[in-house]
Amino acid sequence: MTPEAPTPNTPSPSAAPVAAKPVAKVRQKPIERFPLRFHCAITMPMGDSLKRLCGGKSALLSESDIGRLALHGYLLANDPYYARAMGRNPNA
């Protein structure tokens, strides 16, 4: 037997061309400034209020910004270790 010459693996002319797949969007990494996540349940009136305040392109703050600010204020007022870590004098 004689060895056959290698032939390139080419598709037959009747094969349909493969359509190019659309490039998938790359998901952004979370902001490194806030490496932890905190989730909580809220009431319906709270949710409605957040929709009013955070809805649309003219909103100054996002829902997570409002939650972060509220938690920050609570911790400053009630946790002296947190207040000290944030550079605020709890006795002032």
3-state secondary structure the chain: CCCCCCCCCCCCCCCCCCCCCCCCCCCCCCCCCCCCCCCCCCCHHHHHHHHHHHCCCCCCCCHHHHHHHHHHHHHHHHCHHHHHHCCCCCCC
Is 17 a residue whose pLDDT tops 90? Answer: no
Average pLDDT over residues 3-17: 62
**Per residue in 44-67, pLDDT tens?**
999 999 999 998 888 899 998 999
Binned at pLDDT 50, 70 and 90, residue 39 comes out as confident
Quickly tell me which residue has 């349940």 as its tokens. Answer: 41
* pLDDT at site 32: 72
Average pLDDT over the chain reads 79
* pLDDT at site 55: 85
